[in-house]
Amino acid sequence: MSSEAPSNYSEDNNLHQTDANLFVRLQNGETDTLAILYDRHVGLVYGISWNLLGNTAEAEDLTQDIFLNLTKKCSYDPQRGSLRTYLRILTRSRALDRLRSRSRQQRIRNQALNENAKVLSESPMEEAVQIERSHKIVEALKQLSIKEREVLRMAYYQGLSQSEIAQRLGTALGTVKSRTRRGLLKLRQALTDSRDRS
């Protein structure tokens, strides 16, 4: 009579071993124990991954990473708690890392898009148009009286209201209003003439 155990004896024996025992054997190079740990805990790991990432492919990828991590020198210590708790914490942590990375990549993409848009909006052609427009305004302002120029500069470059301008100049508010109106009419006419000539 043969003393040899049935071929499925070792498989049955493995199935009844604790996670801690299987993990120790896995760390000692018995890679067949990974399949048993995977079968026991894949639902937990995949469930957490999918709930946090909301993406099937990413959840599957993270699940594979978590179990591959067990084959390396990982930080799990059977003396300090169950493998299930360790897997729960590790999966959650890695999923959150991926979410942060995804968010950071999105921010970088958005920043790049904004910078590209800014570069496009500040193209040499547009810059040239802006410069030409500035020159025309400067030339048009020269055609106004000193007092008209003064109130327009205070209003548009310093952002002062007409009453503030009147106060600063020690002039009646009606005078500031009429200078502003006259100055704007002259400015518009000068810019129209300039556009017609070009």
Interval 102-147: pLDDT, tens: 887 777 776 766 665 555 455 555 555 566 666 677 777 777 788 8
Select 9-120's CATH number: 1.10.10.10, 1.10.1740.10, 3.90.550.10, 3.30.10.20. 1.10.1740.10
Contact in structure between 70 and 25 (CB atoms under 8 Å)? no
The CATH number of 124-197 is which of 3.40.50.1370, 1.10.10.10, 3.30.70.20, 1.10.8.10? 1.10.10.10
Alpha carbons 141 and 139: distance in angstroms, whole number:
5
| Least reliable range by pLDDT among 8-12, 52-56, 134-138, 139-143 | 8-12
Place 87 in a pLDDT band, splitting at 50, 70 and 90.
Answer: very high
**Six-digit token pair at 62?**
């993270």
Q: Residue 5's pLDDT is what?
A: 45
C-alpha–C-alpha distance, residues 65 and 58, integer Å: 10
Token pair for 39: 């079968």
Q: Which of 79 and 14 is assigned the larger pLDDT?
A: 79
Task: Residue 183: count other Cβ atoms within 10 Å of its Cβ.
Answer: 22
Contact between residue 83 and residue 37 where contact means Cβ atoms under 8 Å apart: yes
Every domain of the chain and the residues it spans:
9-120, 124-197
> pLDDT digits over 162-184, tens only?
888 899 899 898 898 888 888 78
**Distance from C-alpha of 10 to C-alpha of 20, rounded to nearest angstrom:** 17
Residue 34 in this model has a pLDDT that exceeds 70: yes
Q: Which two tokens stand for residue 45?
A: 């790991």
159: left (phi over 0), alpha (psi -120 to 50) or beta: left
- Pick the closest to residue 71 from 32, 15, 41 (CA basis): 32
**Residue 15 clears pLDDT 80, i.e. is over it:** no
Helices first, then strands: H and E counts in the chain: 9, 0
Q: pTM for the complete prediction? A: 0.48
Token pair for 173: 């508010």
Q: How many CB atoms lie within 10 A of CB 84?
A: 13
What's the pLDDT score for residue 127?
57
Q: Is the pLDDT of residue 160 over 90?
A: no
